[in-house]
Amino acid sequence: MIKFARQVMIIFALIFLGPLALSADKLADAKGAGGESRVALVIGNTAYPSGALANPKNDATAVAAALKKMGFDVDLKLNASKTDIDSMLSRFSLKADKAGVAMVFYAGHGIQVGGINYIVPIDAAPQSERDLKRQMVKMDDVIEDMGNAKVRLVFFDACRDNPITRSFSRGGTRGMAPPVEATGTLISFSTKHGNTALDGEGQHSPYTQALLSELNGSEGIEIEQMLRRVQQGVRKATNGQQEPWRYGSLDGDFYFKAANPVDNSKAQQELVERAVQESIKRSNEKSALERAELQRTIKAEQDEALRRAN
């Protein structure tokens, strides 16, 4: 009987406490995935005629894989030409307009001329500054094509030393220029403006390696904290030679991944168990009171019967 009563109590606890448990799950999820649609454009350019870079292809491929695991709809392109990038941006812009989160990751050559930052396609061969608009892609245009997404994230591992602009009248400037900051947009450069980034001796650049470490293990870590950890990781890996920098800000907190739900499940189980124990305790107390009342009634009736008999 007690076992049956316990089972009944568990069922009632699940019915009445279940919605509370689900609400806790949703609250935790809102800190991470949040249920929003996520799109990403990932480009890795390696095969430049002026000299191949070692790691952008590996960097882009690994970042794309990490993002897919976190629910991103990813467009990945390796060794993209100017036509490739223009076409991808057109498609990406349509997706980003309908998305809650839009992200761009680019690894390859990037340059700045006259304070304007450019992505360098693999087929770019400008002879003068006039060729830049036709052969390269402005970083500001990429950000603009991220549409109306509430959260816009830009990661540029693109500050490598580039021989293309050394002959330009305004060229030869090392690294990238500070980007134009837009509301709801967070931009991460692999190094400070005016500095160049290392391509790295391993499979990934120091910046992408640090970024991947965080993406693959960032449960419950807000993006600002995550980027500080990336910054620290790159400084350590390069003995202080390179320091990533971020620009802009988001309107609220953003988490690539929600906190581990295992703890929530355990808490929910404990909540249900406590409710069951409390219900059983109240039931036992009620039964004891009812038995005592019954005994008092029987005794009273016996006393009355004896009184009448006498």
What's the pLDDT score for residue 170?
Answer: 45
Q: Domain check: are 140 and 283 in the same one?
A: no
How far apart, in whole angstroms, are the C-alpha atoms of residue 136 and residue 48? Answer: 13
Q: Domain check: are 9 and 38 in the same one?
A: no
Taking Cα atoms as reference points, which of 52, 158, 53 lies closest to residue 111? 158
What's the pLDDT score for residue 164?
Answer: 63
Residue-wise pLDDT tens digits, 104-134 = 999 999 888 888 889 999 999 888 888 888 9
Q: Domain check: are 59 and 196 in the same one?
A: yes
What's the pLDDT score for residue 206?
Answer: 92
Residue-wise pLDDT tens digits, 262-304 = 555 666 677 777 776 777 777 676 677 777 787 888 888 777 7
What's the pLDDT score for residue 261?
Answer: 56
Residue-wise pLDDT tens digits, 157-181 = 986 555 665 555 444 455 667 676 6
Instruction: Please check whether residue 254 lies inside any domain of the structure.
Output: no
Instruction: Please check whether residue 156 lies inside any domain of the structure.
Output: yes
Q: Domain check: are 115 and 215 in the same one?
A: yes
Q: Domain check: are 107 and 188 in the same one?
A: yes
Q: Domain check: are 17 and 115 in the same one?
A: no
What's the pLDDT score for residue 194?
Answer: 60
Task: Give the rounded percent of residues in the chain with a pLDDT score beyond 90.
Answer: 43
Domain finish residue from 208, 228, 249:
249
- 310, with CB counted inside 10 A (0-12, 13-18, 19+), is exposed
Please report, for the domain that includes residue 200, its CATH number. Answer: 3.40.50.1460
Q: Domain check: are 225 and 275 in the same one?
A: no
pTM of the predicted protein model? 0.71
Q: pLDDT category, 50, cuts 50, 70, 90?
A: confident
Task: Give the rounded percent of residues in the chain with a pLDDT score beyond 70.
Answer: 74
What's the pLDDT score for residue 132?
Answer: 87
Which domain does 269 fall in, by range? 2-27+261-309
Instruction: Please check whether residue 139 lies inside any domain of the structure.
Output: yes
Q: Domain check: are 197 and 291 in the same one?
A: no
Instruction: Please check whether residue 255 lies inside any domain of the structure.
Output: no
Instruction: Please check whether residue 61 lies inside any domain of the structure.
Output: yes
State the average pLDDT over residues 244-273: 77
Q: Domain check: are 87 and 236 in the same one?
A: yes
Q: Domain check: are 133 and 22 in the same one?
A: no
Q: What does the mean pLDDT of the chain come to?
A: 80
Domains contained in the chain, number:
2
Q: Domain check: are 91 and 237 in the same one?
A: yes
**CA dihedral over 158, 257, 234, 228, signed as positive or negative:** positive
Residue-wise pLDDT tens digits, 200-220 = 677 899 999 999 999 998 788
Q: Domain check: are 284 and 234 in the same one?
A: no
Instruction: Please check whether residue 73 lies inside any domain of the structure.
Output: yes
What's the pLDDT score for residue 28?
Answer: 34
Instruction: Please check whether residue 256 lies inside any domain of the structure.
Output: no
Domain finish residue from 229, 249, 269:
249
Backbone region of residue 34 per phi and psi (left: phi > 0; alpha: psi in -120 to 50; beta: other values): left
